[in-house]
Amino acid sequence: MSPLPPGTVVLQVLPRLESGGVERGTVEIAQAVVAGGGTALVASQGGRLVAAVERAGGRHIRMPLATKNPLAIWRNTGRLAALIRDQHVSIIHARSRAPAWSALWAARRCGTPFVTTYHGVYNEGAPGKRRYNSVMARGDRVIAISRHIAAVIAARHPAG
């Protein structure tokens, strides 16, 4: 990886660090950030892969992010905003919908660039689901994990 600008701090946000593609991708990004000379932070509720993040040179910050409770999501906004300010976060990278809402609001509050990775085709059957899912398309940059997902994003969330 190319060197990152001096002082780069990347904060990834997800519910838990258990097994799965989202979680393994989080560890890989942490490794890449550290290899590039940056600081890798991961905020989650914890899990089996916390040790892998730490072995990669990253730091885990435990937060109650594995919830869809609207009040808890709002409270997490304040927690993330404080972390962004305290750690001088350069970019916040959200990887899951509920914590992405907290991350989006915290990023806006702090003026920090916000990136998402859109990992799947989210169900939109229930009322309000399209709006809930839309946070994954609201990043300053949106990473699609495949061409198929990129097409889904373009169809469901056309650029305004």
What gap in Å lies between CA 75 and CA 80, rounded to an integer?
9
User: Considering all CA atoms of the chain, what is the largest pairwise distance in Å, rounded to the nearest integer?
Assistant: 45
Percent of the chain with pLDDT over 70: 99
CATH of domain 9-156: 3.40.50.2000
pTM: 0.93
Confidence of residue 20 (pLDDT cuts 50, 70, 90): confident
Query: Is residue 160 over pLDDT 60?
Result: no
Question: What average pLDDT score do residues 55-59 get?
Answer: 98
Which uninterrupted H or E stretch holds 148?
Answer: helix 147-156
Sign of CA dihedral 117, 111, 88, 50: negative
The DSSP line for 31-60 is: HHHHHTT-EEEEEES--TTHHHHHHTT-EE
CA angle 59, 78, 124 (to 5 degrees): 90
Residue 96: strand, helix, or coil: coil
| φ/ψ (deg, to 5) at 135 | -60, -30
List the domain boundaries for the chain: 9-156
